[in-house]
Every structure is written in structure tokens, then in C-alpha cells.
């Protein structure tokens, strides 16, 4: 029984380690798409923005983004 638990834990650890390897290509694509949307509302460039994808303790992905902008664009809306 102990061996089974040990094997389960080992498999979980292997799966988490595999999941931690977020390809940089995905991070670049997510950053580009976020930048595309945010440019509609802020004066922002790629240099003023950082994006990171990591895993939390339960194995879920966490997206962290920091963006700095000097101004917000005025958006006219139709009511």
C-alpha cells in the first residue's frame, strides 16, 4: 500500500514538473494579444508590459501581468 501511495505522489510530481515548462512562445503570444486589446484603452508599448505564466501549489496556471501607462485613452461609447 505504501508503494502505491509513493508511486501516486511520484506521478503527481512528474506531471507538475512537466506542466511547469510553459513554452516561451505561449507567453509571447498571450502578451501580444493582451497588448493588442490594452492599446485600445491605454497608451502602452511592449516595453512597458510584462507577462508571466506560472503554476500555483494546486497545479493551476496563474497569469501575472504588469503594465505601466502614462495615460488612458478616452473612449466614446454609443448609448
Residues in the chain: 79
Walking along the chain (79 residues) 10 residues at a time, the average pLDDT comes out as 80 70 85 95 94 86 94 77
pLDDT of amino acid 51: 95
Amino acid at each position: 500500500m505504501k508503494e502505491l501511495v509513493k508511486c501516486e505522489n511520484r506521478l503527481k510530481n512528474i506531471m507538475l514538473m512537466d506542466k511547469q515548462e510553459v513554452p516561451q512562445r505561449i507567453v509571447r503570444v498571450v502578451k501580444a494579444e493582451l497588448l493588442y486589446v490594452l492599446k485600445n484603452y491605454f497608451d502602452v508599448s511592449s516595453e512597458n508590459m510584462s507577462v508571466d505564466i506560472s503554476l500555483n501549489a494546486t497545479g493551476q496556471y496563474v497569469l501575472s501581468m504588469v503594465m505601466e501607462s502614462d495615460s488612458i485613452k478616452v473612449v466614446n461609447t454609443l448609448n
